[in-house]
Structure 1
Amino acid sequence: MGKQTFWAGIGLGAVAGWTIAQQLWAINEVSQKDAHRSLATERNRGAPGRTFEHSTETDAFTRSHIIENGIERISYLPKQRKHQTPLLFQHGMWHGAWCWQYWQELFAQWGWESHAHSLPGHAGSPEQRPVARCTLDYYLAFLKREVDRLPQRPVLVGHSMGGALVQWYLKFVGDLPAAVLVAPWASHRMLTPENLWRVVQNDPLGALLSAATWTARFGTHNPAAAAWMLTTRGAIFSPEELHARLNPESMLVLYQHNPPYWTPPERVNTPLLWLGGEKDQAVPEPQVRQSAAFYGADYRMVSGAGHNLMLEHNYRSTADTINRWLAAQKIP
């Protein structure tokens, strides 16, 4: 019995030491990051040139899919363009440009030009640094590059972590014609006791894998976990189909969207639409509602929807809500 107690103590000590070392490493990593410095530095180290190109046409739009200089881009150009301002879609954790397909098709039918890109290490964009070392300021530099390459400032649409990047853009870069935040990260912090306990309680293996690998494995390590975290019954993709598309993600991004590394901007002049899913497990609807109130944003709760609003059974009505809101803002 004494030997068992001894080895149990050794094991617990090793786990505790590993956890403490990880926390110290994470704090050191995010403490050294500076959004302004990242924005002023060319971050793209992708292979130069165009490595993939494919286009398709329908009666309503032309779809262009390219990978150029290490970045995947999917663009929809309407045959009958009704708006001058383009839409730029920014995906969240684990996802890529692919997740916007169904909304991009709808908005093209409604006369909107739209573009979606994949951050490095996501979908068709090759990894440029180890995923575990990716941070929000690193991703922000790529988002700014996508905004700058468009001939006209876009309406920025961000989902989940992409919604956090929209907030970072508005604070560190500037205002836009409008922005739509789709089940976005909270305005002030993400690592709350409530959020951490919900993950540990519902997906203990995912929480353990996240701690062991320092990548955000919770909610994505198997189809059931992905379905619990991201969707509801009747979503476009089955749990198996969704899980097969997901990529690893950094834990540092979650650390960085918390004080003292992040505080929301005191004033935003950009018109904002904030969308929350009634059954969201990743960012619970009350947190989304509170964040919208902080920013003074227009808020809509999507009934019966989970976190991936653009892939839920009611994705069409949610897109229509956005389209109507943009019309009310008189976006040209």
Structure 2
Amino acid sequence: MTDTPVIFIHGLWLHSASWQPWLELFSEHGYQVAAPGWPGELDTVASARATSDGVAGHGIDDVVEHYAAIIADLPAPPILVGHSFGGMIAQKLLGQDRAAAAIAIDAAQIKGVLPLPLSALRSTTPVFKNPANRNRAVSLTAAEFRYAFGNAIPAEESDELYERWAVPAPGKPLFEAAAANFNPHSAAKVDTANSGRGPLLLITGGKDHTVPEAVTRATLKQYRHSDAVTDLLEFPDRGHSLVVDHGWREVADACLSWLKSQEL
């Protein structure tokens, strides 16, 4: 048993409450758990849908500093578990030595990652189709959610997840990530050469449309100059919904097993 803090960080288009099953499981294993929302995110799915202005305009650095402030109030450096853009945020915080370890699940691409598969472009079209979305909160339709998140599960389940957890998300992080390799000071830059950081686990879903396997494997290569533990785990038949769909427990159990292997 452990009393180590664990902070769960969601990505775009899912509400922080979607981590609830993970919170319960990790709590059962003795961790002190929390899943704070992004800056400006309201407490419930219904309220987040009704009033999305609070999240609009927040970029990657805003989100990093938001979670850094939360971490600063903890009694010990936490383990971070992030999904999608939350996985990028977790990597940035780990590289800044603000965390004991991080698990980045289908993490958004960081600066230096070059592959840009067509499925990833299609998944983000709802944001990029209008440049003004950089400073707006953008919602997905059920069909767009099914392509970006639920392509590896039955359509009925994808639609149920959409109704339960989908919320508007800020467009700015996507614009920042898209321009990362052209900006030497990009907010999407991670200190991948830090050899003194805690261990990192990258998880990829083999059928993920939004963050395809090629992106995660290219992310792994960015860490080649670090001596710190950097592991990769693939779930070949899973899509971007892997943290919230019917198979979430398999992913969560794998995370717990890895943490145990790292004595965390």
1:252 aligns with 2:172: yes
1:89-143 Cα distance to aligned partner (Å, 9 max, x none): 1111122221211212222222222111111333418779754421111111110
Matched to 1:267, the amino acid is N
Larger Rg: 1
Residue of 168, 175, 183 corresponding to 2:106: 183
Residue aligning to 1:198: 119
How has the CA–CA distance of structure 1 residues 132 and 250 changed in structure 2, closer, same or farther, with 3 Å as cutoff?
Answer: same
Q: Which has the higher contact order (CA 8 A, sep 6+)?
A: 2
Q: Secondary structure at the match of 2:34?
A: strand
**Which 4+ runs in 1 deviate beyond 6 A?**
125-129
Contact 1:97–1:118, Cα closer than 8 Å, also in 2: yes
Residue of 140, 146, 155 corresponding to 1:221: 140
Residue aligning to 2:82: 158
How has the CA–CA distance of structure 1 residues 285 and 135 changed in structure 2, closer, same or farther, with 3 Å as cutoff?
Answer: same
Contact 1:187–1:264, Cα closer than 8 Å, also in 2: yes
Q: TM-score, normalised by structure 1?
A: 0.65
Alignment of 1:220-239 (within 5 A): 220-231=139-150, 232-234=152-154, 238-239=158-159
- How far apart, CA to CA, are the structure 2 residues paired with 1:238 and 1:128? 22
Alignment of 1:1-332 (within 5 A): 82-124=1-43, 131-171=55-95, 173-188=96-111, 194-195=116-117, 197-198=118-119, 206=126, 210-211=130-131, 213-214=133-134, 215=136, 217=138, 220-231=139-150, 232-234=152-154, 238-243=158-163, 245-257=165-177, 258-259=180-181, 260=183, 261=186, 262-265=188-191, 266-268=193-195, 269-295=197-223, 297-331=230-264
Shift of residue 176 of structure 1? 2.4
How has the CA–CA distance of structure 1 residues 194 and 270 changed in structure 2, closer, same or farther, with 3 Å as cutoff?
Answer: same
Matched to 1:288, the amino acid is T
How has the CA–CA distance of structure 1 residues 89 and 200 changed in structure 2, closer, same or farther, with 3 Å as cutoff?
Answer: closer
How has the CA–CA distance of structure 1 residues 170 and 108 changed in structure 2, closer, same or farther, with 3 Å as cutoff?
Answer: closer
- How far apart, CA to CA, are the structure 2 residues paired with 1:118 and 1:198? 27
How has the CA–CA distance of structure 1 residues 225 and 286 changed in structure 2, closer, same or farther, with 3 Å as cutoff?
Answer: same
Matched to 1:89, the amino acid is F
Q: TM-score, normalised by structure 2?
A: 0.80
How has the CA–CA distance of structure 1 residues 149 and 284 changed in structure 2, closer, same or farther, with 3 Å as cutoff?
Answer: same
Contact 2:6–2:79, Cα closer than 8 Å, also in 1: yes
Shift of residue 226 of structure 1? 0.5
Stretches of structure 1 that go unaligned for 5 or more consecutive residues are: 1-81
Residue aligning to 2:227: none
1:171-191 Cα distance to aligned partner (Å, 9 max, x none): 4x325221111110123257x
Contact 1:123–1:245, Cα closer than 8 Å, also in 2: no
Aligned length: 244
129-138 or 147-156, which moves further after superposition?
129-138
Stretches of structure 2 that go unaligned for 5 or more consecutive residues are: 225-229
